[in-house]
Amino acid sequence: MIAPTLACADWLNLQEEIHIMDRAGVDSYHIDIMDGHYVPNLCFNLDILAAIRRVSATPVDVHLMVTNPLDYVDRLAACQVQLACTHLDSWGDPGEFLDALEDRGIRKGLALSPEDGVERLEPWLERLDYILVMFVKPGFSGQPFRPELLGKLTQLDTLRRSRGLPFLIEVDGGVSWENAGDIVKNGADLLVSGAFASLDRQGDLGERTAAFRALSASRCRHAAERGMNR
């Protein structure tokens, strides 16, 4: 499955591009929200998120790169966000963030930055609906993929199989036509596709989106069992 990152869309024609990708059959949209504090950059804000939700019924997953993620939860719920995650070090108690999402019916995630080991998730692993694995430093698009981190996917896939856990594995950062197969083979369910993938501007957006989604087809059944398919 794929989740085009709207950070790489044409912002001056955002509604049109969303409609094109909707028709191509995307599984969700990946929305980056940054505060210029946790990461030294800005991306979408909650008002733009609300506008996106008005023009498309496609699910969204929100990646919070912010210092106080709890400040955002009520408005995420108001925007009917389906999934949301934050980084382990963005709040003193990640469990408090998970509680807040659960109370509002939002599927719960935590994000692993490149330097974070899988073992850091252990206290919350059984509560998670998905895990976002970053293959680049959070906050900036266009960074190269780091193949040495593929082992994290294998670790997580092995963990969920051995314990019978239902979480999805999402991969963000440097995902491309060339490495998508390896990412999927190592256990990923959902690929965040951006400037190196379906939004590479190398052809018709709808055709590129459908073609890139086909690369993840081998994991679609596995992910459908975890409730992501529309």
What does 161-173 look like in DSSP terms, one character per residue?
Answer: HHHT---EEEEES
For residue 168, give the nearest of 158, 157, 152, 180 by alpha carbon. 157
Q: What CATH number did the domain enclosing 213 receive? A: 3.20.20.70
Q: Give CA–CA dist 70/86, Å, rounded.
A: 10
- What tens digit of pLDDT does each residue of 129-154 get? 999 999 988 766 666 788 888 999 99
Has residue 229 been placed in a domain?
no
φ, ψ dihedrals at 219, nearest 5°:
-105, 0
Task: Tell me the pLDDT of the chain averaged across its residues.
Answer: 90
Centroid of chain to Cα 57: 17
Q: What is the pLDDT of residue 189?
A: 94
Has residue 138 been placed in a domain?
yes
What is the total count of domains within the chain? 1
Residue 169, beta-bridge partner list: 131
Has residue 209 been placed in a domain?
yes
Residue spans of alpha helices (H) in 84-149: 94-103
Token reading at 82:
């389906």
Enzyme catalytic residues: 32, 172
Has residue 230 been placed in a domain?
no
Range of the domain at 177: 2-224
For the entire predicted model, the pTM comes to: 0.90
More confident residue, 7 or 228: 7
